[in-house]
Copies of this chain bind each other. A is one copy, B any other.
């Protein structure tokens, strides 16, 4: 009688097929958009870029060198970009949402890449001329070498602050 009794084995339901197995989400790394670290980086970028812009603008002869004019334009653009993204980060933190939309991430990665390249180019061009004036020609007497150097240093620090944002955005775009 035991043999004829149907044995009931509990069968586990098969795991639900995920819609897209490649869509593995990266954890929120501090420094990415929508995190407190990301906001801190954006604020650093903004402050340093604005500092470089102000220091360079206060010299009355910056307009005589193309590289210095370009530094003013590039740091101006960078400060606007960083300020806009800082406001976006504040919004994300307030509504407790993280930036996970693919199109938005792609836009930010491309924008950060462009600003990263422009900032490095401006800082290096200014550094080339500053070093030429200060070390190679020794003509700091009739030029504002200290201010040029300060502005260049701030532009380099600002570029340094934008690097993690760019690399993290690019990384999270690649792992989407």
Contacts and interface: CB of A to CB of B under 8 A. Distances in A.
Interface of A: 6, 11-12, 14-15, 17, 21-22, 24, 64-67, 117, 120-122, 124-129, 131-132, 135-136, 167, 170-171, 174-175
Interface of A is mostly: helix
Contacts of A14: 12, 14-15
A76 B131 CA distance: 21
18 contacts: A22-B24, A65-B128, A65-B132, A65-B136, A66-B131, A66-B136, A67-B128, A67-B131, A120-B121, A124-B124, A125-B125, A125-B127, A125-B128, A126-B128, A128-B128, A129-B132, A170-B171, A171-B174
